[in-house]
Amino acid sequence: MTRRRRSPSLRLRVTLAAAAVTTAIVVVIGGALWSQLSSSAYRELDGQVNTVSAAVQPSISASNSQTITQSTSQGVLTTVRLAGVKVLGTTTTIPQQADGVTDLTIDDTRYRVKTSSVLSGQGLSGLATVSVAVPLQPTLDRISGQRRTLLLASGGSVVASAILGWLLAGLAIRPLRRLADRTHALPSDAGAAAPERAALLDVHGAREAEELAAAINELLGRIDTERARTHDALVTARDFASVSAHELRTPLTAMRTDLEVLATMNPGPRDRAEIVADLQRAQLRVGETLAALEALAQGNLGGQPMERVDLVDLCDHAASEAHRRHPEVTIELDGPTAVPASANPAGIRLIVSNAITNAIRHGRATRVMVGVHPTSDGPVWLTVDDNGRGVPQEERSSVFGRFVRGAAPISAGSGLGLSLVAQQAELHGGTAELTDSPLGGARLVVRLG
């Protein structure tokens, strides 16, 4: 397995970014200063050359010999020519040049040379040519020194920026490091340590760290909720499986006894018919129980899709199916022509079907009326009235439990019908209850939403 390469730290990234930005600024500004140093130094040198040239021009002053002597002591060369012949100047002669400024190497020394043509005077007649040469090396040395200083200052700026970025980034990410350390220190059983976790994640110093701590705490809270929900679901599943096994054991035991009688004994035709009928009833009960258990399990898993439906149309279909199964019972629908609502179609049909079956099987009803009653504030009420024997007051809450039957059941059943009704009502954000019916029997009232 290839080990994943570690990403650079935020502190290192900030440091490199600060160094890169500083380098870019230094390059731009330093480049301009680099050329400016040379231009400034040469302008200063040209000013010196102009000053010396003006001082030695014979038309300005009679003390040119003294100026020439002083210029020689400063390393400056001068040469005055008349008609191309040197008449005044230092020992070292400047080569004859055209008027203007140029760089020359004289006796292995570089000079800045200016040549000017002026009117002669002080005993000289005609047009004189004055050449002045100032040593170039001091200027070049000064330029080099200034450029070295610029390089050192630029490099120091980059290094100082990187160090400052490293220090400031360290201060900036300190709350994040503290949050990471405290997150690592969280106990593994986060659900049992929620207060301790909240105290550990109470990090201040940077808004980003505070927001991240709040997000982590919220995420762990959702994990706690899901963990508790999963634990409750597992407990419910274990209890559900235990009770289901107990409820199925009775009909399966009866079926095994009947099968053993058929296999070991030779009953007469009448006894055989009774045993077969008993097996069919037991098989039907097992099938109904398994179907109800499957419906309950699907409801427990949740996630039933809600869609926009017509409740009156769904109830009408459920009532029609129930009437086909029980043609001897009058089943009516009471309500407006249409009631649109957000619901699960299968869940609504399950509520109505189980309520009708329960009224007929256990209440011995001969007339059932299904009602759909919308309200102006949102909830919709479903009612199932019958003219059966009703449900005693003390049993009206308990019969919604799983595998709970009335104290004096008329017929066998799984005891899950009303449990399914209550479950579907809850999944639709409502409740279910039993009251007295205007028809004389029981009324099932289901609130949706």
Q: Are residues 295 and 320 in the same domain?
A: no
Q: Are residues 287 and 390 in the same domain?
A: no
Listed residues 266, 281, 302: the one ending a domain: 302
Q: Does residue 31 sit within a domain?
A: yes
Clarify whether residues 113 and 239 are in a common domain: no
The reply to whether 345 and 420 lie within a common domain is yes
Question: Which pLDDT belongs to residue 306?
Answer: 80
Co-location of 376 and 355 in the same domain: yes
Same domain, 229 and 105: no
Residue 257 in any domain: the answer is yes
Same domain, 316 and 441: yes
Q: Which of 250, 283, 302 is the last residue of a domain?
A: 302
Does 205 lie in the same domain as 130? no
Q: What is the CATH number of the domain that holds 336?
A: 3.30.565.10
Domain with 125 in it: 12-157
Domain count, the chain: 3
- For residue 245, tell me if it sits in a domain: yes
Going residue by residue through the chain (449 aa), what tens digit of pLDDT does each one get? 456 677 777 788 888 888 899 899 989 998 888 888 888 988 888 888 888 888 777 544 444 455 555 555 568 888 888 878 888 888 888 898 888 989 999 888 899 999 988 776 555 456 788 889 999 998 889 999 998 998 999 899 999 998 998 888 888 777 777 777 767 666 665 444 556 666 656 666 667 767 777 777 777 777 777 877 777 667 666 666 665 665 567 677 777 887 888 788 878 788 788 888 878 877 776 766 666 566 556 555 555 678 898 999 989 998 998 888 888 999 999 888 888 988 888 888 888 888 898 888 888 899 999 999 988 877 899 999 999 888 888 888 888 876 666 554 544 555 677 877 888 888 888 888 999 999 989 999 999 87
Is 275 part of a structural domain of the chain? yes
- pLDDT the model gives residue 376: 81
Q: Are 112 and 241 found together in one domain?
A: no
Asked whether residue 391 is domain-assigned, the answer is yes
Residue 167 lies in a domain: no
Determine the pLDDT at residue 384.
Answer: 93
Please indicate, yes or no, if residue 230 is contained in any of the structural domains. Answer: yes
125 and 57, same structural domain? yes
pLDDT of residue 152: 92
The pLDDT assigned to 118 comes to 79
Residue 181 covered by a domain: no
Residues 29 and 153 in one domain: yes
CATH of the domain at 32: 3.30.450
**204 lies in the same domain as 87:** no
Where a domain ends, among 279, 302, 325?
302
SS3 letters for the chain?
CCCCCCCCCHHHHHHHHHHHHHHHHHHHHHHHHHHHHHHHHHHHHHHHHHHHHHHHCCCCCCCHHHHHHHHHHCCCEEEEEECCEEEEECCCCCCCCCCEEEEEEECCEEEEEEEEEEECCCCCCCEEEEEEEEECHHHHHHHHHHHHHHHHHHHHHHHHHHHHHHHHHHHHHHHHHHHHHHHHCCCCCCCCCHHHHHHHCCCCCCHHHHHHHHHHHHHHHHHHHHHHHHHHHHHHHHHHHHHHHHHHHHHHHHHHHHHHHHHHCCCCHHHHHHHHHHHHHHHHHHHHHHHHHHHHHHHHHCCCCCEEEEHHHHHHHHHHHHHHHCCCCEEEEECCCCCEEEECHHHHHHHHHHHHHHHHHCCCCCEEEEEEEECCCCCEEEEEEECCCCCCHHHCCHHHCCCCCCCCCCCCCCCCHHHHHHHHHHHCCCEEEEEECCCCCEEEEEEEC
